[in-house]
Amino acid sequence: MKEDKAFVKEMTPQSEDFSRWYIDAIKKADLMDYTPVRGCIVFKPDGFELWERIQEAMDKRFKETGHRNAYFPMLIPESFFQKEKEHIEGFNPELPWVTEAGGEQLEEKLALRPTSETIIGHMYAQWIQSYRDLPILINQWANVFRWEKRTMPFLRTSEFLWQEGHTAHANEEEARQETMQMLEIYREVVEQELAIPVWKGQKTPSERFAGAVDTYSIEAMMKDGKAVQAGTSHYLGDKFARGFEIKFLDRDNQFKYVHTTSWGSSTRLIGSMIMVHGDDRGLALPPRMAPTQVIMIPVGPMKLRDQVMVAFDPLFDEIKAAGVRVRADLREETPGWKFNEWEMRGVPLRLELGPRDVENGQAILARRDTGEKITVPLEGIAQTIAQLLEDIQQNMFQKALAFREAHSHLGIDTLAQLSAHIEKCENENTLSGWVLAGWCGDDACESKVKEETKFTSRNIPFEPPAQKSVCICCGKEAKHTVWFGRSY
């Protein structure tokens, strides 16, 4: 069957302009649309279903570890932000404010939440009286606002969707265990469900969350070599507890401040999934995330369509009954046109059924990840499809992992070497990727790397592929081994 190349021609190649490719891909896959409000988008059904699948994967794990969902107000009084100075300084440039309602000026202006530590801290102070009230393990699924100057759909928008967990504990040990537990949940979901390999590690002080004692992240590499912070978990110590007077009476009848954590991931995971797996034909979605896992398309002459549909409809029902998210495309466009459209939408598996296939008791399955076409018997096809979807899931993770390893550089130890590496990549139009380097711990050295190369520290990986002994900037003894790279 000759394929219609129209969709491919309309897609900007990744090598030509990756950002333009990304916009082309999400628009042509009908995931979102722009709105009249700057930096805000509409999640169309396929785009929102991707978020629902991420929600489902995470929410299940949250509840298995004892967390429950709640909801807190979107509007936060200005005075709440003053109670934790570092927090307001970190978010103030991005805050949109409500100053008027019902035609009258408000006595106190209200922020549209950039995050909920302050309002939740205020409520926890009312709810926590004794050690018997601890721990509090709450998550909320919500929208937040950060007035971004440069936006990109799903990755960075003025309003976005996320989850934010906020917990309170009797001591530091329990709070730190919670922080690391949630970071591991993020890693598990992103690697197992989204098929994106990540590095777990600790953020440097300059990159940690405003008001946190320690921030930890998972970092993912996109196909343009840039990094996305795919999830963060923060140990807040008793900073917010002191600011909001969150105290409890311990077993010895002594008042103590709680230790708190917060952790979050957002719809930028959708953008990350697209950028990690997509190609010049458009989206390529991991089966566990794909809104449609199998698209069924009848082929062959229209005069023989009734003969095909006799087998097509029961086959559809059988596959659907097996729990597969399957759709049938019965539109009048040519099969080649349909093939390209569903490839562009990233559907993992295509099933073609024609008159000769019906006669021979077989169907053709085409994989989105490899382009391979396989002829399989109709008998037991639901089980065959289930196994193929799992194979595709694993293959997509391995391809992403191989890409990350190919663009991770372990032999660059000085700023001069890094600058030369970047210049060489720019001249050859290749990706500069990430660099594993030593860092002495001085903020000035970290800042100099950023100023001269636009590479920022991503995190200090818990299990780096190598240990670095000298600082990439000053040449002194390295206290940390750090991933550096450009980021979104």
Tell me the per-residue pLDDT of 155-174, one tens digit each, with 9 for 90 and over. 999 999 999 999 999 999 99
Return the CATH number of the domain spanning residue range 294-404. Answer: 3.40.50.800
Joined together, the tokens standing for residue 278 give: 């997509």
DSSP 158: S
228-285 residue pLDDT tens: 999 999 999 999 999 999 999 999 999 999 999 999 999 999 999 999 999 999 999 9
The answer to whether the beta carbons of residues 485 and 449 sit under 8 Å apart is no
CATH topology for the 410-485 domain: Translation Initiation Factor IF3 (3.30.110)
pLDDT at 2: 40
Q: State which H helix or E strand residue 339 sits in.
A: helix 335-344
Contact 386, 444 (CB under 8 A): no
pLDDT of residue 93: 75
Nearest to 84 by CA among 51, 125, 50: 125
pLDDT at 383 over 60: yes
List the Cα angle 153/156/159 in 5-degree steps.
Answer: 85
Amino acid at 401: L
Sign of CA dihedral 121, 122, 123, 127: positive
Which two tokens mark 280? 């010049």
Percent of the chain with pLDDT over 90: 92
Q: 411 φ, ψ to 5°?
A: -105, 20
In the predicted model, is pLDDT for residue 309 greater than 80?
Answer: yes
Contact 257, 250 (CB under 8 A): no
Domain-wise residue ranges, the chain: 18-277, 294-404, 410-485
Q: How far apart are CA 485 and CA 461, in angstroms?
A: 13
Looking at the predicted structure, is the pLDDT value of residue 226 above 90? yes
The chain-wide mean pLDDT, for the chain, equals 95
Q: Give the rounded percent of residues in the chain with a pLDDT score beyond 70.
A: 97
3-state secondary structure of 31: coil
pLDDT bracket for residue 149 (50, 70, 90): confident
State pLDDT tens for residues 280-296: 999 999 999 999 999 99
Write the pLDDT tens digit of every residue in 26-46.
999 999 999 999 899 999 999
Return the CATH class of domain 18-277: alpha beta
pLDDT at 9: 52
Looking at residue 4, its pLDDT comes to 44
pLDDT at 148: 83
